[in-house]
Amino acid sequence: MTGQPGAWRSAITDADAESIRIRGYDVTALMAGASFADVLFLLHRGELPSPAERRLLDAMLISFADHGPGSPSAMAARTAATGNRRGLEAAVAAGLLAIGDAHGGAGYACMELIAEGVAQVHGGRCPPTEAAERIVERFVAARERLPGLGHRTHPVDPRADALFALARELGVAGEGVTFIEALRDASAARIKPLPINVDGASAAVLFDLGFPPPAAKLLFIVGRTAGLTAHVHEELTRERPMRVKVAVEYDGPAPRQLPGS
Amino acid sequence: MTGQPGAWRSAITDADAESIRIRGYDVTALMAGASFADVLFLLHRGELPSPAERRLLDAMLISFADHGPGSPSAMAARTAATGNRRGLEAAVAAGLLAIGDAHGGAGYACMELIAEGVAQVHGGRCPPTEAAERIVERFVAARERLPGLGHRTHPVDPRADALFALARELGVAGEGVTFIEALRDASAARIKPLPINVDGASAAVLFDLGFPPPAAKLLFIVGRTAGLTAHVHEELTRERPMRVKVAVEYDGPAPRQLPGS
Amino acid sequence: MTGQPGAWRSAITDADAESIRIRGYDVTALMAGASFADVLFLLHRGELPSPAERRLLDAMLISFADHGPGSPSAMAARTAATGNRRGLEAAVAAGLLAIGDAHGGAGYACMELIAEGVAQVHGGRCPPTEAAERIVERFVAARERLPGLGHRTHPVDPRADALFALARELGVAGEGVTFIEALRDASAARIKPLPINVDGASAAVLFDLGFPPPAAKLLFIVGRTAGLTAHVHEELTRERPMRVKVAVEYDGPAPRQLPGS
Amino acid sequence: MTGQPGAWRSAITDADAESIRIRGYDVTALMAGASFADVLFLLHRGELPSPAERRLLDAMLISFADHGPGSPSAMAARTAATGNRRGLEAAVAAGLLAIGDAHGGAGYACMELIAEGVAQVHGGRCPPTEAAERIVERFVAARERLPGLGHRTHPVDPRADALFALARELGVAGEGVTFIEALRDASAARIKPLPINVDGASAAVLFDLGFPPPAAKLLFIVGRTAGLTAHVHEELTRERPMRVKVAVEYDGPAPRQLPGS
């Protein structure tokens, strides 16, 4: 229908009494002949992926899926579950809410840098190395850390290498991968050597697959729900309510009286 | 306006270009002449509170406000903030999501028991002690814990006594307070002595103030946001990103190879 | 490591400086040789799926993926995004929080009924039809609606038929499918004819695949994040901030003066 | 206790078996002798407020409390509740998640501008008018809207005037109020006349009360939970499950076949 006042426009899914069509494909046809990664790609991009695109998306989702109970998202989900044992959706949502600038959000920021750098290269103004150096100088001046490089627990992030290997094998690595490698090298020369992490690698590959920057965070979220749901289930089946505790060291004001009492 | 198709009905707040009226009172008049507890009462009950009602609501909100960083809601909020340092609303929401059956939710369940017990008393079928005994037997049979009694860290919950003292001083303690004391005594005789905790005490007082059971949880949420916002701010100003960690003891399958590899 | 005081036990993922292993498999091996559905199954069940299990899990995730912007979860996510345009994780989480008893939660409740019914059959006490009739009588007596039957917009839910067809083709349909069909028939005879919906169909198939009841909701959540992330992205790229509005029909107290003013 | 490895430091609340102390004051003393606004101030600032500070904080919380069901936060909360009728905490949290840059977040951004402007004034470099003009030029150059000015539904925001009047009456209006008025005037001269809205007014007053910028958002969150909890309760008591709907206008690809089918 068209032109109904107040209607919400959407080009994603059309549902009527008889059928549900995602980007034009009947959901039952997709159920019979597609994988979840196919449909996720379709939802975000409007078309089904090629086999190479599907494999890379699967690999990225797997790389995002879990990092154990000590990552902030899993820890927040399990902490919520310890107090709210009937709200499965609440515990998973609490986990998602720990995903931000410092955890799972570097891919988005990194993809914006890649888009900026590649745009400069395309504008004919400079080779990737120069564009990368300029960005590194800006981060040095602002005393900020470059997103996509280094990892607090992995000296080398095994997921990044695996993703690049797959992208090269499938012939998908392009300007995004080239640019983040230039960024890594420029950063190593100017600041200190740090390998590309999973956020940086997936940002580069998503760029080469044609995704826009917010997709880096949105697809991380989709992948991580796999792990978060497993952690919530493990918490509820293995642990007792309110078991999550933390040792507290209070260092505020000593006991005192209310004025006038 | 009336009868617009698709309009959402609401009896809470009316806003037009010139003014905003909460339950009929202009918000500017409330800002000049009321307290937050007054307006919270007005929003939930439709009328402004009496001085006694306001004092009890303030006392309850204060009793809910905080219990340190080791409570699941504060811990979930701070854990979310450690990964998501720009999403203040996300961190506070993560804290709320830890409020459920095991943490902050006992008041709701307890208020339903009080309502049930008082209804039996009113139905002329029994004195409070008998109604309480019946409920205790049911919980014993179901092997469930009675909500509103006992606390994992406080042998005696100081907030409960303070609230009952205030309710008595203000002449508000009624059938709700009588019934939860009957429940405590019946439970002590049949199971083991456990004092009334803050959830049970506030459930009884809210009942005597005329609130419906869900209010016990909703008002707990309002009160606890005071503490959660303070914890989120302390986390962001005192601690570095991703500082929250937990020691993990993995006890799953040993390293293994993918089939066919 | 073992026995560290305060450590969180987990059998899901083991991460050290060099590697990340999910249920014992190196994440890089999974990235190279598995699909997202494989890893989701692995996270929840501890083992990789058979090809039939993988296909059914993919089909279910696809059936959950999206139902357009008018479903409460998509609407909540887009509404949050209209006010909070930088918090992608917040908008997706708001969508998850609309998933509950009335939306996306029927699968969990239905799976508990299936487990109860099949347990009665196994206990040798009755054939499926009788167990189903008993459950239907209980719901009639409680004046509650049976979960898993009927859909507010689809007279016949096309996803349910597609899922059953696939389960039969793959030889996976078992006692769960048999029981929900008995439940549908008993309900049709006693109340009114209603077809099995996607929640009921996936509950039956998940039961036959050996998943526990909470998985029905947790896997729905994973599948639905595919659609929610697409809706959040569409909202942010197609619509302006604060565009979501609703016509409001205020029917509360008329304008009035504060007492004493 | 001090120095326990892994302990979480906090200067907010100290709880032991016998007592709970907020910033050193026993919670039972606060329950007997303080209001919720007092304790909220204490939690955030470490000290109890003066009577003028308390009155202004109450007035601000009231100005934040509700704006009817059509504001994104109330709409998101009610939409979540329509699908998730047992998760009161989930519905309130969904409402909070709509609070961001475009809704309820302008106070934070505005307070940062005020802090910047006042710092320039203090640095002796310029009068407020000049500092304000410089900021306005920067926003013009960036084609961004100044936070704290104008409102989509109120030509004049009545809450702003009420707050300024109270701040002046209580002798609290200081450099923050002066600076936002300079900003309003510089913006009127350079762009177009727009009055200060509630976000801008509360940012100025919070600055003059000594709060840091994030407090503008955190206190908005606390105030708005009053309204959100009332909306969730009204939704659950007045409306049926899944009643929230939206007219959808699908404008994506026409029905099509899967390749190869």
Q: Are D11 and D46 spatial neighbours (Cβ–Cβ below 8 Å)?
A: yes
Element (H, E) at A48: none
d(CA B65, CA A51): 54
Q: A153 or B37, which is more confident?
A: B37
Residue of D nearest to C243 (CA): D72
Using CA atoms, how far residue C185 sits from C145, C190, C192, C208, in Å, is: 15, 9, 9, 19
The alpha carbon of residue C43 is apart from the nearest alpha carbon of chain B, in Å, by: 11
Q: Is the pLDDT of residue A62 over 50?
A: yes
Lowest-pLDDT choice from B174-178, B243-247, D40-44:
B243-247
Q: Are D113 and D149 spatial neighbours (Cβ–Cβ below 8 Å)?
A: no
Q: Does C189 touch chain B (CB under 8 A)?
A: no
d(CA D118, CA D176): 7
**What local confidence, expressed as pLDDT, does residue A1 receive?**
42
Find, among B42, B46, B62, the residue nearest to B201 by Cα: B62
Q: What percentage of chain B has pLDDT greater than the value 90?
A: 88
Chain A residues inside the 8 Å CB shell of C28:
158-159, 161-162
A 10 A CB-CB count for C158 gives: 18
Chain A residues inside the 8 Å CB shell of B79:
72, 75-76, 79, 98
Residue to mutate among B53, B250, B256, with most C CBs inside 10 A, is B250
Chain B residues inside the 8 Å CB shell of D68:
10, 12-15, 20
Alpha helices in B147-213 (DSSP H): 158-169, 175-190, 198-208
In D240-259, the residues whose Cβ lies within 8 Å of chain A are 246-259
Element (H, E) at C9: strand C8-10
> Mean pLDDT for chain B?
94
Q: What is the ipTM of this complex?
A: 0.96
- Identify the three-state secondary structure at position B9: strand
Average pLDDT over residues B63-86: 95
DSSP label at C100? Answer: B
In C73-102, the residues whose Cβ lies within 8 Å of chain B are 84, 86-87, 89-90, 93, 97
Chain D residues inside the 8 Å CB shell of B231:
10, 12
Q: Is the pLDDT of residue C3 over 70?
A: no
The alpha carbon of residue B121 is apart from the nearest alpha carbon of chain A, in Å, by: 31
Radius of gyration of chain C (CA): 22
Nearest to A250 among D10, D90, D97 (CB): D10
Residue to mutate among D66, D82, D84, with most C CBs inside 10 A, is D84
Find, among A217, A230, A232, A228, the residue nearest to A103 by Cα: A217
Give the DSSP letter string of chain B.
----TTPEEESSEEE-SS-EEETTEEHHHHHHH--HHHHHHHHHHSSPPPHHHHHHHHHHHHHHS---TTSHHHHHHHHHHHH-TT-HHHHHHHHHTT-BTTTB-HHHHHHHHHHHHHHHHHTTS--HHHHHHHHHHHHHHTT-PPTTB--SS-SS-HHHHHHHHHHHHTT---HHHHHHHHHHHHHHHHT----B-HHHHHHHHHHHTT--THHHHHHHHHHHHHHHHHHHHHHHHHS-TT-----EEE-SPPPBPPTT-
Structure tokens at D238: 């007045």
Average pLDDT over residues A101-109: 91
Instruction: Report yes or no on whether pTM surpasses 0.90.
Output: yes
**What local confidence, expressed as pLDDT, does residue B153 receive?**
85
- Identify the three-state secondary structure at position B125: coil
Instruction: Count the alpha carbons within 13 Å of C182 in the hemisphere toward its beta carbon.
Output: 21
Is the CB of C98 less than 8 angstroms away from the CB of D79?
yes
d(CA C8, CA A68): 10
Is the CB of B80 less than 8 angstroms away from the CB of A90?
no
- State which amino acid sits at residue B241: P
Chain B residues inside the 8 Å CB shell of D62:
27, 30-31, 34, 36, 39
Interface partners of chain B (CB pairs < 8 Å, 3 or more) are: A, C, D
Is the CB of A253 less than 8 angstroms away from the CB of D24?
yes
φ, ψ (nearest 5 deg) of residue A108 = -60, -50
Q: Are B87 and A93 spatial neighbours (Cβ–Cβ below 8 Å)?
A: no
CA B144, B147, B152 angle in degrees (round to 5)? Answer: 95
Q: Does B21 touch chain C (CB under 8 A)?
A: yes
Residue of C nearest to B252 (CA): C11
Interface partners of chain D (CB pairs < 8 Å, 3 or more) are: A, B, C
- Burial class from Cβ neighbours inside 10 Å (0-12, 13-18, 19+) for residue B28 reads buried
Is the CB of C13 less than 8 angstroms away from the CB of B250?
yes
The alpha carbon of residue D57 is apart from the nearest alpha carbon of chain A, in Å, by: 20
Chain D residues inside the 8 Å CB shell of C244:
72, 75
Distance of CA B29 to the CA centre of its chain: 29
Is the CB of D255 less than 8 angstroms away from the CB of A90?
no
Residue to mutate among C222, C228, C240, C245, with most A CBs inside 10 A, is C222
d(CA C248, CA C78): 19
The alpha carbon of residue D242 is apart from the nearest alpha carbon of chain A, in Å, by: 16
Is the CB of C62 less than 8 angstroms away from the CB of A92?
no
Q: Is the pLDDT of residue C245 over 60?
A: yes
Q: What digits encode the pLDDT tens for the residues A226-251?
A: 999 999 999 999 999 999 888 899 99
| Strands B25-26 and B20-22, sheet pairing | antiparallel
Q: What digits encode the pLDDT tens for the residues D109-142?
A: 999 999 999 999 998 778 999 999 999 999 999 9
Nearest to C94 among D98, D101, D246 (CB): D98
- State which amino acid sits at residue C133: E
Average pLDDT over residues B95-124: 93
Is the CB of A259 less than 8 angstroms away from the CB of D48?
yes
**What local confidence, expressed as pLDDT, does residue D1 receive?**
41
**What local confidence, expressed as pLDDT, does residue B52 receive?**
97
Q: What digits encode the pLDDT tens for the residues C124-162?
A: 778 999 999 999 999 999 999 999 999 888 889 999 999
